[in-house]
Chain A
Amino acid sequence: MPKRELIGKETEATTVTINPESNKAFAKVVGELDPLYHDEAAARAAGYANVLAPPTYPIAFMAESMNPELFFELELNLPSIVHGEQEFLYFQPIVTGVELTMKGRIADMWEKTGRSGTLDFVVMEAEASDQQGKPVYTSRITLISKRASE
């Protein structure tokens, strides 16, 4: 059973630098064709250090912002986990090729019991900031895990 006392627990900060080429591949697949996502010259002309990432691209490196040990400490029923909800808050454009500092924490946890058993809900939050320490975006992912019958 997931441990409620983990609510508020933070992970050690990690750093991520978005690879502009992987970002372009993502943008193409999701149909984001604006030159600011694809063309370095266009991005620089607009005042950015490199191409921008589409709003939902941070999902691709979500795992890197969460310490796996903390994730396993949650004791969720791994094969049953589904991605229930996703939220992003944006404070400035997400620029590729520059280092972001990521801090993760367990933001909330609750359970719901119905006819088919008990579901555990876990909200994991990641805050990304730039090299000046200013916030770039916050991600909140809600995972739903079905508890194995006891």
Chain B
Amino acid sequence: MSNYRVGDELAPMVAGEVTRELITAYSQVSMDPNPMHTDEELAKAMGYPTVYAQGMLGMAMLARHLGQVAGMGKLHRIKCRFKTMTWPGETITCRAKVTAVEEKDGKQLVTVEIHTENQDGEPKVLGEAVFAV
């Protein structure tokens, strides 16, 4: 049995700096064709200060965080909303807070509110996830 209780904050994970190289690499491996992540001139022409990171890159970081916390293969569900853009040079931390703990089919299911934030604590990707203990 675990000691998860509603209101607990799980140990955060510093995912690190989101560099242009990381954004470009993520576009390649995720088959994301959107040039706003890779084409600096186009991003500026569209009114953005520079290229921005994929929302899914933030979601991948959140999923990795939960894998570290709960272990491989324990994730039942993850849902994310891409609230604001993540910019090159920002350092991202993943956070999770327990909102529900329930028993189901002999397993304990933990629901967490999750988000990524930059070095100033500004939230970027928000969501909810459920993992088994």
Q: Which residues of A contact B (CB under 8 A)?
A: 22, 25-26, 28-32, 34, 36, 52, 54-56, 59-61, 63, 82-90, 93, 140
Contacts and interface: CB of A to CB of B under 8 A. Distances in A.
A109 B67 CA distance: 32
A29 B25 contact: yes
B34 to A, nearest CB: 9
B81 interface: yes
23 contacts: A29-B25, A29-B29, A30-B26, A30-B29, A30-B61, A30-B64, A31-B16, A32-B67, A34-B67, A36-B72, A55-B67, A56-B56, A56-B59, A56-B60, A56-B63, A59-B56, A63-B31, A83-B55, A85-B82, A86-B79, A88-B78, A89-B76, A93-B73
Nearest to A59: B56
Contacts of B77: 87-90
Given A60-B29, A60-B31, A86-B82, 18 more contacts: A29-B26, A29-B29, A30-B57, A31-B15, A31-B64, A36-B72, A54-B64, A55-B67, A56-B59, A56-B63, A60-B30, A63-B31, A82-B82, A85-B81, A85-B82, A86-B55, A88-B77, A90-B75
Nearest to A35: B72
- The 10 A-B residue pairs with the shortest CB-CB distance, nearest first, are A87-B79, A30-B60, A26-B29, A55-B63, A56-B60, A29-B25, A60-B31, A60-B30, A25-B29, A29-B29
A84 B63 contact: no
Interface of B: 15-16, 22, 25-26, 28-31, 55-57, 59-61, 63-64, 67, 72-73, 75-82
Contacts of B81: 84-85
Contact of B30 (A31, A59, A89, A93): A59
A30 B16 CA distance: 11
Contact of A83 (B73, B79, B82): B82
A56 B15 CA distance: 16
Nearest to A81: B34
A28 B25 CA distance: 10
A32 B25 CA distance: 14
A89 B81 CA distance: 15
A54 B59 CA distance: 11
Nearest to B36: A82
A61 to B, nearest CB: 7
A60 B81 CA distance: 18
Contacts of A55: 63, 67, 75, 78
